[in-house]
Chain A
């Protein structure tokens, strides 16, 4: 009966809708009720926030169901779930990033960390810096150079191979037997444990160039084995969703197929492809085990990927954590490890920015 009365007062357009202030009112109510409930079982800020959010979502959906009807309520429920899931996802991610930042910044700011290698730094040096309270010596420059070069070569190998394979699968194969075989094998390749890829590359180069061949390039090949399937799969997905109308329009204008692919299909999908490539790089740049067996473990700077052992950030982090330079004073090593982890993340951030830049330059204007 009450609703009938209110309906008469409102305009027809706002009938069956909640006033705009409702969510705020519900939120306020939820916070207060949650605080009350928490005080009963022992108060803590985290539990309070979680409980408020849950109460708010439940009340919001219930009120909406009562006033606005089922469809609007379902929509509100979906919104709550999506936003809720996002907030849940943020928790561990923020925690990880916080851990890395808090532990990594002191090391990264240590003078010399970015400009020096670990050449000549021994446990005695670390012990001295702990006892005397002097800054930690030694840095990750050699590892940074190694990581950049190895990843660069791996990308130079994987992106052309992966992208061309995806183009073959989507544009040329017309779903023939061979393309089925490739798709199948790419799926298999995603399942190669990273250490196996490393052992394979090491064994392959040992066969060609003699035993014990460990260089940055061998590592790049090992990483390519891991990278290619990611590049193929993500670019295949992206090429597939390029609307066929675009291709047909290009053909209708008399454009050759290869030019259509280069000028129409790839630019349309470039943002997704760039994102996929970045992911692929991100996937391999943190690999430790395959690098150890293919590039060795160096403590000094090596700029040549074709000769000599190379260090990389993940192997640097790994060895510094697992086998500290000074076993009895592990703190300097831990500090270097976290700083290197932060450095690795910053490196990927820059790569990501680069990929986005590439995508923006080549991508056509879209509706978004």
Chain B
């Protein structure tokens, strides 16, 4: 009796697992006929593994899909665990590339030499995303603010939307008598790092804290996890204001135009790319390292300085030629017009300017193989 029962259970399980494994397909989206292969150069094969920032995961999805359809033998896998995790994994030799919202520090570059050869690792910018200051005030869709006012709002020094400082710059806006609830990220993030860096540089007198991936805990306000978390909180809370990747800000919210020089600049992809073009390369690094120092206090008209630059972090040399070729091919695809366009379509990011993309491609070409 019992044996019969066990047999029956086993049969059910077997049939169930068979049914589970029998159906299911990876071909969800039919690639457009005549997919563009020219951008990736000659077809490469192999599996490339990366880990890193979650901010680029939407762009990475697009690059992965585009690259894999152009190179049928190649496979890209990317795990969005966070920038720090990505850089750690590259240093440990666990992945072939990392995605990071901040370029590697000097001591990290030094420790990368063990697995990446004597030249260490190189940082190449491949993704630009403007950070919007977004708010939820009924009937107000855009506000003109300078860095000092924004800093005061986020520090809780300006407490109400009808504050004279806000009114002065926006005489036409219908500002209600409503308390301001600043909302910030509860997790450590590249967005917070770049936004506080902007405030610390552009609003020196008000923002006394250092730039940091963690929001200063002494400041008042609410917080939420992740870009989607802060956006959701602001959407649901009248009078709330936050900073978030522009791509995630919905039409339900208003956006701030930043004061740059004497004019106000709205958030656009072009303005963000322009601000990145004004950046200088960090000195004292390898010639092919493109770590950028952004000029947050720029006065150039039309540049939007609150911007996040995400880097691809690669080894300067890989043990075998196949991996090096694969890395180069994938990097080149991501930096190509095609790759940047696909990322912009999928993630609403700002494409790199042609000039910067060219520099980045040259740096990428310098990746060598064999010398370990």
Interface status of B286 (Cβ within 8 A of chain A): no
Q: Which residues from A are CB-within-8-Å of B13?
A: 354
Q: Which of A311-338 contact B (CB under 8 A)?
A: 319, 321-328, 330
**Is residue A23 within 8 Å, beta carbon to beta carbon, of the partner chain?**
no
Chain A residues with CB under 8 Å of B225's CB are 322
Contact with B along A84-100 (1 / 0, CB 8 A): 00000000000000000
Contacts A212-B93, A319-B57 given; does A120 touch B69 at CB 8 Å = yes
Which residue of A119, A124, A138, A144 contacts B62 across the interface (Cβ within 8 Å)? Answer: A124
Contact for A124 among B17, B92, B342, CB less than 8 A: B342
- Distance in angstroms from B70 CB to nearest chain A CB is 12
User: Is B23 within 8 A of A115, CB to CB?
Assistant: yes
A212 near B27 with CB under 8 A, answer: no
Alpha-carbon gap, A211 to B17, bound state (A): 32
Contact call B62/A122, Cβ cutoff below 8 A: yes
Closest chain B residue to A289, Cβ basis: B81
Cβ of A250 within 8 Å of any chain B Cβ, yes or no, is no
**Contact in complex: B77, A301 (CB < 8 Å):** no
A121: nearest residue on chain B (CB-CB)? B28
Partner of A326, one of B24, B58, B93: B58
Instruction: Please give the number of chain B residues whose Cβ is less than 8 angstroms from any Cβ of chain A in the complex.
Output: 52
Residues of A within 8 A of B25 (CB): 115-117, 141, 301
A296 CB-CB contact with B under 8 Å: yes
Check: A272 CB closer than 8 A to any chain B CB. no
Task: Give every chain A residue within 8 A of B49 (Cβ-Cβ).
Answer: 212, 296, 309
Assembly CA distance A162 to B270 (angstroms): 59
Instruction: Give B157 Cβ to nearest chain A Cβ, in Å.
Output: 31
Whether B64 contacts A323 by the Cβ 8 Å rule is no
Which residues from chain B contact A326 at a C-beta distance below 8 Å?
Answer: 58, 346-347
**Closest residue to B49 on the A side, CB-wise?**
A212
Which residue of A112, A212, A298 has the most chain B CB atoms within 10 A of its CB atom?
A: A212
A327: B residues at CB distance < 8 A: 58, 227, 245, 247-248, 347-348
Q: Are A141 and B81 in contact (CB under 8 A)?
A: no
Docked CA distance A292–B250 (Å):
29
Residues of B within 8 A of A116 (CB): 24-28
A141 to B28, CA, bound (A): 11
Known: A116-B28, A120-B65, A124-B345. A328 touches B247 (CB 8 A): yes
Cα distance, A285 to B79, chains bound together (Å): 19
Residues of A within 8 A of B6 (CB): 361
A124-B345, A127-B346, A206-B92 known; A139 vs B28 contact (CB < 8 Å): yes
Q: How far is the CA of A235 from the CA of B9 in the complex (A)?
A: 22
Q: Is A145 an interface residue (CB 8 A)?
A: yes
CB neighbours (8 Å) of B227 from chain A are 323, 327
B95 to chain A, nearest CB (A): 6
A116 to B61, CA, bound (A): 16
Cβ-based interface call for B228 (8 A): yes
Contacts A144-B20, A322-B226, A326-B347; A123 near B58 (Cβ below 8 A)? yes
CB-CB nearest in chain B for A327: B247
A125 within 8 A of B: yes
Interface residues of B in 49-70 (CB under 8 A from A): 49, 54-55, 57-58, 61-62, 64-65, 68-69
Secondary structure at chain A's binding surface: helix, strand, loop or mixed?
Answer: loop
A119 touching B9, Cβ below 8 Å: no
Q: How far is the CB of B19 from chain A (nearest CB, A)?
A: 11
Chain B nearest CB from A264 CB (Å) reads 15
Q: Which residues of B contact A301 (CB under 8 A)?
A: 24-26
A137→B92 CA distance, assembly (Å): 37
A123 touches B2 (CB 8 A): no
Given contacts A297-B77, A303-B21, A319-B57, contact A119 B26 (CB under 8 A): yes
Cβ-closest chain B residue relative to A360: B5
B23, B79, B226: the one within 8 Å of A297 (CB)? B79
B80 close to chain A: CB less than 8 A: yes
Residue of A nearest to B85 (CB): A293
Contacts of A127 in B (CB 8 A): 345-346
Assuming the contacts A212-B49, A326-B58, A328-B248, asked whether A300 and B26 have C-beta atoms less than 8 A apart, the reply is yes
Given A212-B89, A299-B61, A327-B227, A122 and B79 contact (CB-CB distance below 8 Å): no
Instruction: Please name all residues of chain A whose beta carbon is closer than 8 Å to the beta carbon of B5 when the two chains form the complex.
Output: 361
In angstroms, Cα B62 to Cα A133, docked, is 21
Residues in A whose Cβ lies below 8 Å from that of B229: 322
B29 interface contact, C-beta 8 A = yes
Q: Which of B23, B27, B54, B80 has a CB less than 8 Å from the CB of A119?
A: B27
On chain B, the residues within 8 Å of A125 by CB distance are 29
Q: Shortest CB–CB separation between residue A297 and chain B, in angstroms?
A: 4
Bound state CA distance, A119 and B28, in angstroms?
7
**Minimum distance in angstroms from B251 CB to a CB of chain A:** 10
Name the CB-closest residue of B to A141: B24
A328's partner among B9, B79, B342, B348 (CB-CB below 8 A) is B348
* In the assembled complex, A36 has its CB within 8 A of some CB on chain B: no
Tell me the minimal C-beta distance from B141 to chain A in angstroms: 17
User: Is there a chain B Cβ closer than 8 Å to A118's Cβ?
Assistant: yes
A218 to B85 alpha-carbon distance, docked (Å): 18
Is B31 close to A, CB under 8 A?
A: yes
Q: Which of A282-314 contact B (CB under 8 A)?
A: 292-293, 296-301, 303, 309
Q: Which of B23, B29, B55, B226 contacts A120 (CB 8 A)?
A: B29
Q: List the A residue with the shortest CB-CB distance to B341.
A: A124
Provide the residues of chain B in CB contact with A122, threshold 8 Å.
58, 61-62, 65, 342, 345-346
Known: A212-B93, A323-B80. A145 touches B228 (CB 8 A): no
The CA of A145 and the CA of B27, in the complex, are separated in Å by 16
Kindly provide the distance from the CB of A137 to the nearest chain B CB, expressed in whole angstroms: 6
Q: How far is the CB of A335 from chain B (nearest CB, A)?
A: 14
Question: Within 8 Å of chain A (Cβ to Cβ): is B301?
Answer: no
Pairwise interchain contact B94-A211, C-beta atoms closer than 8 A: yes
The interface residues of chain B lying within 8 Å CB-to-CB of A148 are 17, 20
Residues in B with CB closer than 8 Å to A309 are 49, 77, 79
**Closest 8 pairs (CB-CB, A-B):** A123-B346, A212-B94, A327-B247, A211-B94, A141-B24, A119-B26, A297-B79, A120-B29
With contacts A139-B28, A323-B80 known, what are 5 further pairs, Cβ within 8 A? Answer: A144-B20, A214-B79, A297-B79, A319-B80, A357-B9
What are some 9 contacts across the A-B interface (CB < 8 A)?
A115-B24, A116-B25, A122-B346, A142-B24, A148-B20, A212-B49, A299-B64, A322-B229, A326-B346
Question: Contact residues of A with B, CB < 8 Å?
Answer: 112, 114-125, 127, 137-139, 141-142, 144-145, 148, 206, 211-212, 214, 292-293, 296-301, 303, 309, 319, 321-328, 330, 354, 357-358, 361-362
